[in-house]
Amino acid sequence: MTRSSPPVFDAAFAAQFRELLTWRRDVRRFRRDALPEGMIEQLLGEMELSPSVGHSQPWRWVRVRDEAQRASVRASFTRCNADALADYEGERARLYASLKLEGMREAPEQFAVFCDHATERGHGLGRRTMPEMLDYSVVAAITQFWLAARVQGIGVGWVSILEPEVVREALAAPPGWKLIAWLCVGYPEEETDMPELVRAGWENGQ
């Protein structure tokens, strides 16, 4: 049933919304306790309200609970992170080595998020000249999930220091599924309004 009487968001809501954006963090330090029953389903339901090109809804969320699968992906992070460290020198290398860049051992919930390039949904609308719109639709959905989680006090960390093909293989992802993100999800150990990389002085380091 379509509704045509829209909600009005007042100044108090707008101020709280700005607070939400201000306190959303890319979380790498998680508590290990489980989320409440039904919470993931609720957040995925809000994610589903995201925009997508041609209404294609190409996101495929895989909730990864298997310890062997998680271990394969952690091993990929370890390799990639060592390679990344080797690219830096001097003070920046020392700074990089000190950063905690993922929470894959602690986060109780973890997801691989793929884009289904084989989907027929949307019939190609809006992506003839910009086919990357399909991937972008998945990024928009992840962004909404991230904010919806923060509303509930739940943190999200996006890990990209990975070999996408290793993740695909570990999860036996169908052909045509492109890895967009690995997400760690759980209650954060601390709250702050300042990005961790800013606090660490990553941009200013020599």
The residues in 117-146 that bind its own copies, with binding defined as CB under 8 A, are 121-130, 132-133, 135-136, 139-140, 142-144, 146
**Least distance in angstroms from the C-beta of 118 to its own copies:** 16
**Region near its own copies per CB under 8 A, out of 30-38, 42-50, 67-75, 169-177:** 42-50
Q: Which residues, including other chains, have CB under 8 Å from residue 121's CB and lie 6 or more apart? A: 54, 55, 56, 57, 58
CA distances, 95 to each of 6, 90, 190, 194 (Å)? 49, 9, 21, 18
Instruction: Kindly state whether residue 192 participates in binding its own copies, applying the rule CB under 8 A.
Output: yes
174 with 118: CB under 8 angstroms? Answer: yes
Measured from the CB atom, is 66 or 190 closer to its own copies? Answer: 190
Instruction: Kindly state whether residue 90 participates in binding its own copies, applying the rule CB under 8 A.
Output: no
**Region near its own copies per CB under 8 A, out of 59-67, 104-112, 153-161, 168-176:** 153-161
Q: Which of residues 3-22 bind its own copies (CB under 8 A)?
A: 3-9, 13-14, 16-22
Measured from the CB atom, is 70 or 92 closer to its own copies? Answer: 92
**Least distance in angstroms from the C-beta of 1 to its own copies:** 9
Measured from the CB atom, is 37 or 193 closer to its own copies? Answer: 193
Instruction: Kindly state whether residue 71 participates in binding its own copies, applying the rule CB under 8 A.
Output: no
Q: From the list 29, 147, 168, 189, which residue makes contact with its own copies (rule: CB under 8 A)?
A: 147
Instruction: Kindly state whether residue 112 participates in binding its own copies, applying the rule CB under 8 A.
Output: no
Q: Are strands 155-159 and 109-116 parallel, antiparallel or unpaired?
A: unpaired
40 with 108: CB under 8 angstroms? Answer: no
157 with 28: CB under 8 angstroms? Answer: yes
